[in-house]
Amino acid sequence: MTTDHVTVPEDGEKITLADEETGELNVPANPIIPIIHGDGIGTDVGPAAQQVLDAAAEATGRSIAWMRVHAGESAREKYDENLPQETVDAIREHRVAIKGPLTTPVGAGFRSLNVALRKKLDLFANVRPTYYLEGVPSPVTDPEEMDMVTFRENTEDVYAGIEWEAGSEEVQQAKEFVEEEMGIDDIIHDGPVGIGVKPITEFGSKRLIREAIDYALANGRDTVTLVHKGNIMKFTEGAFRDWGYELAEEEYGEDVITEDQLWDEHDGDQPEGTVVVNDRIADNMLQQVLTRTDEYDVVATMNLNGDYFSDAAGAQIGGLGIAPGINRGHGRALAEPVHGSAPKYAGEDKVNPTAMILSGREMLEYLGWSDAADLVRDAVEETIASGRVTYDLHRQIEGGEKLATSEFADAVVENIEDLA
């Protein structure tokens, strides 16, 4: 079937929903996977990731039928718009997809296409695993202590985009409402003002925290930490924390205990098979991720906190060039690297595709292809540990071999074939 600018491959089968309640998927051995290469360096890292993921699938007796869809620059060329409905519909229908970076202007222009995709597809959990790969230069002494997964709420908080521009009629109405109707007249200075609203709901908080706890239980993780600024924003971020503890008590029984219960009832000895839910103030957590790295496992937090925190964690294992991510919803997922589009390097076959490749690994995990996912991680680590790296890592190590983007993908594929 062919639409305006999307051709559905004939050699693949559609992923379908197996269980409406749980979101469990039926995944064929040859799934159709939509892919957006992305803007800037997406033209380099997108094909590199495809090559590696194809090799991992083939090595485990499967195949991927790729379906090119468009957003950002390529969409403007084909559709004269940034995010065509055809692209959204294709990802919605085929359920699991991967995308490269998309450019978001600062201060003006269209809102983030990344955020738009997450909201349109209700991909409420932005999941960012952070783990160390041998051979990657790091600014910390013991980067191997980092093995953390951040669950970042994707649809609320400041990323909901509810704000009004200084000087607009709308911002004046909002200012008058706050001052006159709500009786708050001592916090807004005279002169131009921009006003934003920060919504945090019980529904959005609980489904995000549920996803984090379920992940921890399924993957043998010890803790889920609720990161918030509830000491200051008591009715938004403080509510997030409270709803998290409420959820744990109401839905998980003895499988989940609080940090207080751990010490009051178990003298600090965590019962086998349980997950401990605790909470930390956001600014303190940014310190503890450096000073007590190995004490944290899974983090659940709101959108802005999660953006700051996951980037800070990523710095400890070598930076955003190797940091993967995946957006998860109910029976639907869109993998994407954490880094941006770096347009000045576009088309130079130069940049590091590791983050895009490892985001693809997260996609394979979501499909239930753990064997293929493990091959990808092991092959990437073997390639980097051997000193065969792209320019960004090569300039930080001695005695390595500098590879182009495409050459790095070739090297990873060679290691997949050796490891399979």
Confidence (pLDDT) at 182: 87
Given 39, 229, 297, 350, the catalytic residue? 229
pLDDT tops 60 at residue 202: yes
- 395 annotated as a binding-site residue: yes
- 152 annotated as a binding-site residue: yes
Model confidence over 65-112: pLDDT tens digits?
Answer: 999 999 989 998 999 888 999 999 999 999 999 999 998 655 545 567
Given 242, 307, 392, 410, the catalytic residue? 307
Whether the domain at 1-136+320-420 and the domain at 139-152+199-316 fall into the same CATH topology:
yes
The verdict on whether 392 is a catalytic residue reads no
For residue 352, what pLDDT band results from cuts at 50, 70 and 90? very high
Provide the CATH number for the domain formed by 1-136+320-420 in this structure. 3.40.718.10
CA angle 49, 408, 140 (to 5 degrees): 95
- 361 annotated as a binding-site residue: no
Fold for the domain defined by 139-152+199-316: Isopropylmalate Dehydrogenase (3.40.718)
Confidence (pLDDT) at 135: 93
The verdict on whether 283 is a catalytic residue reads yes
- 103 annotated as a binding-site residue: yes
Confidence (pLDDT) at 113: 85
Q: How far is CA 363 from CA 65, 359, 367, in A?
A: 14, 6, 6
The verdict on whether 374 is a catalytic residue reads no
pLDDT tops 50 at residue 1: no
Confidence (pLDDT) at 159: 80
Given 283, 311, 371, 374, the catalytic residue? 283
On average, the pLDDT of the chain sits at 93
Model confidence over 322-346: pLDDT tens digits?
Answer: 899 999 999 999 999 988 898 899 9
The verdict on whether 79 is a catalytic residue reads no
Range 37-45 average pLDDT: 94
Model confidence over 282-310: pLDDT tens digits?
Answer: 999 999 999 999 999 999 999 999 999 99
Model confidence over 22-38: pLDDT tens digits?
Answer: 899 999 999 999 999 99
- 207 annotated as a binding-site residue: no
> Domain coordinates of the chain in residue numbers?
1-136+320-420, 139-152+199-316, 163-196
- 95 annotated as a binding-site residue: no
- Write a three-state SS string for the chain: CECCCCECCCCCECCEECCCCCCCEECCCCEEEEEECCCCCHHHHHHHHHHHHHHHHHHCCCCCEEEECCCCHHHHHHHCCCCCHHHHHHHHHHCEEEECCCCCCCCCCCCCHHHHHHHHCCCCEEEEEEECCCCCCCCCCCHHHCEEEEEEECCCHHHHCCEECCCCHHHHHHHHHHHHHCCCCCCCCCCCCCEECCCCCHHHHHHHHHHHHHHHHHCCCCEEEEEECCCCCCCCHHHHHHHHHHHHHHHCHHHEEEHHHHHHCCCCCCCCCCEEEEEEEHHHHHHHHHHCHHHCCEEEECHHHHHHHHHHHHHHCCCHHHCCCEEEECCEEEECCCCCCCHHHCCCCCCCCHHHHHHHHHHHHHHCCHHHHHHHHHHHHHHHHCCEECHHHHCCCCCCEECCHHHHHHHHHHHHHHHC
- 132 annotated as a binding-site residue: no
Confidence (pLDDT) at 179: 87
Model confidence over 157-201: pLDDT tens digits?
Answer: 988 888 999 999 999 999 989 888 888 877 778 889 999 999 999
This model's pTM is above 0.95? no
Given 131, 159, 296, 366, the catalytic residue? 159
Confidence (pLDDT) at 150: 97
